[in-house]
Amino acid sequence: MTTTMAGPAPLDETTTIDQLTLDPYPLYRRMRAETPVLRVKSVGRTLLTKAADCKMVKDNPGLFSSDDPNTPMKRAFLAHTLMRKDGQEHMAERMAMMPAFLPKTIVNHWAPMYTRYAEEYVGRLPRGEVVDLFPALAGPIAARILAEIMGVPDASDEEMQRWSQALIDGAGNFGWRPEPFERSDAANAEMDACLERNAERLRAEPDSSALSIMVNSAKPIPWSQMVSNVKIAIGGGINEPRDAALTIIFGLLTNPDQLEEVRRQDAWDKAFEEGVRWCAPIQASSRLVLEDTEIRGCHIPKGDTVMTIQASACHDEDIYDEPHRYIVFREKNPHQAFGSGPHHCAGAHVARRTVGAILMPILFDRFPNMELVDPDIVEWRGFGFRGPINMPVRLA
């Protein structure tokens, strides 16, 4: 008698992190077709590129844990954060701030302020000139909105963006070099002071910000966890709305007929969804395998780290026709750009209602004839996080 046992996933020894950073989509297309479960040596993980597999992993935290101790994240954040926890512990920390990010709070407390900021930041852009929207608009407004919602409004746009980048660089410092950690340590010290100052203010005068909700809770989580919660939001809450905004702007400006139709139907929500599907700001996530298992006939051993590639899930031909194109009016768009499962992006509603519903119509209304200087000079970068790194437009 013979028993069949699944073999290991195929091993790719040629794909480099540089290739995945510069132009990952053609590589993912090939993986989806030929090797949807693939160990990639340079990444040190098993990449999952089909939508169904990504969702299955994210929806099964009992088998695929977020608690991966072998990352530099803990060192960068000087804390074990909720991103890397499971179960009740994760839920308690997440729910401590979640009310600040839900639609009701956004509509009742934040929307008027966001509209004012969007008008102010868009309003100061110089008409008739060529401007790079990355540093001139997308980065600063993402920083401002986050500072307000988290409860640290006295942090400047520059500080928020610098802290965010320092945390991202530290958490991604898999080479464990000293310099990124020196920068994240310095940012942590500045953020700690800022948080203590604002917590004191919010204890006296509560508002709807995440920090206020946490410090004024009847059953507060420990201060150290409040601090790491805010840091997670800063580390992961600026680049995504920034990159999403720039991607949507690029998609609409390179498809003027669709822009016209979006205007006519006021379909900014759909333009937003298609933007985050087209280039998911968070492209990949890691999960630690807790028990031997099997995916698509490949043996996945306990202790392996699988990487769900949301970027690829959002381009899966099983779900999308012409996935490489920006097509606002798709019949269905069940993308995984915000992930799935218990770690589903806590900022999803905020992003939809700030970038999608508020910023885009204000920008395109103020500059109805805005155009890209040259689509070919827009550069896209990133393996874990991805988006345009420049967006020169002529404002008109």
Partner 1 sequence: MVKVTYISTTGEKTTVEGKAGDSVMQTAVDHGIDGIVGECGGSMACATCHVFVDEAFLAATGEKSDSEEAMLEGAASDVRPNSRLSCQIRLSDALDGLVVQVAEEQM
Q: Which residue number, 342 or 361, has a Cβ lying nearer to partner 1?
A: 342
Q: Which residue number, 333 or 390, has a Cβ lying nearer to partner 1?
A: 333
Query: Which residues lie closer than 8 Å to 274 by C-beta, 6 or more apart?
Result: 248, 251, 326, 327, 328, 330, 333
Residue identified by tokens 């097509």 is 327
CB of 59 to partner 1, least distance (A): 4
Query: How far from chain centre, in Å, is Cα 268?
Result: 19
Q: Which residue number, 42 or 217, has a Cβ lying nearer to partner 1?
A: 217
Name 306's bridge partners.
Answer: 46, 287
297 phi-psi bin (left φ>0, alpha ψ -120 to 50, beta other):
left
371-372, strands of its sheet edge to edge: 130-132, 392-394, 371-372
Q: Annotate 366-380 with DSSP letters as a single string.
A: H-TT-EES-GGG--E
Exactly one of 102, 186, 189, 377 binds partner 1 (CB under 8 A); that residue is 102
Exactly one of 33, 95, 193, 377 binds partner 1 (CB under 8 A); that residue is 95
Q: Does 10 bind partner 1 (CB under 8 A)?
A: no
Q: Which residue number, 58 or 144, has a Cβ lying nearer to partner 1?
A: 58
Using CB under 8 A, which of the segments 38-46, 100-108, 141-149, 290-298 binds partner 1?
100-108
Exactly one of 52, 98, 372, 389 binds partner 1 (CB under 8 A); that residue is 98
Using CB under 8 A, which of the segments 97-105, 149-157, 225-233, 364-372 binds partner 1?
97-105
- Taken in order 191, 281, 27, 310, is the CA torsion positive or negative? positive
Give the whole-angstrom CA distance, residue 111 versus residue 115: 6
Q: Which residue number, 139 or 356, has a Cβ lying nearer to partner 1?
A: 356
Query: Which residues lie closer than 8 Å to 48 by C-beta, 6 or more apart?
Result: 36, 37, 54, 57, 295, 306, 307, 308, 309
Q: Which residue number, 148 or 159, has a Cβ lying nearer to partner 1?
A: 148
Exactly one of 12, 17, 19, 59 binds partner 1 (CB under 8 A); that residue is 59
Q: Does 277 bind partner 1 (CB under 8 A)?
A: no
Tell me phi and psi for residue 212, to 5 degrees: -60, -45
Q: Does 62 bind partner 1 (CB under 8 A)?
A: no
Q: Which residue number, 165 or 229, has a Cβ lying nearer to partner 1?
A: 229
Q: Considering only residues 132-191, where is the footprint of partner 1 by CB under 8 A?
A: none
- Any idea what DSSP says for residue 72? T
3-state secondary structure of 294: strand
Count residues contacting partner 1 (CB under 8 A)?
Answer: 26
Exactly one of 271, 346, 350, 370 binds partner 1 (CB under 8 A); that residue is 346
Binding string, residues 212-241; x marks residues near partner 1 by CB under 8 A: ------------------------------
Give the whole-angstrom CA distance, residue 267 versus residue 252: 12
What number of other Cβ atoms are within 10 A of residue 165's Cβ? 18
Q: Does 89 bind partner 1 (CB under 8 A)?
A: no
Exactly one of 39, 94, 231, 270 binds partner 1 (CB under 8 A); that residue is 94
Q: How many residues does the chain have?
A: 396
CB of 332 to partner 1, least distance (A): 9
CB of 193 to partner 1, least distance (A): 30
Q: Which residue number, 321 or 374, has a Cβ lying nearer to partner 1?
A: 321
Binding string, residues 322-341; x marks residues near partner 1 by CB under 8 A: ----------------xxxx
- Taken in order 144, 149, 150, 155, is the CA torsion positive or negative? positive
What number of other Cβ atoms are within 10 A of residue 186's Cβ? 13
In contact, 66 and 90? CB cutoff 8 Å? yes
CB of 270 to partner 1, least distance (A): 12
CA nearest to 161, candidates 132, 190, 182: 190
Exactly one of 39, 50, 55, 270 binds partner 1 (CB under 8 A); that residue is 55
Exactly one of 245, 352, 387, 388 binds partner 1 (CB under 8 A); that residue is 352
Tell me phi and psi for residue 13, to 5 degrees: -110, 5
Tokens matching residue 123: 């309003």
Q: Considering only residues 253-272, where is the footprint of partner 1 by CB under 8 A?
A: 269
Q: Which residue number, 122 or 226, has a Cβ lying nearer to partner 1?
A: 226
| Chain positions contacting partner 1, by CB under 8 A | 55, 58-59, 91, 94-95, 98-99, 101-105, 107, 269, 338-344, 346, 348-349, 352
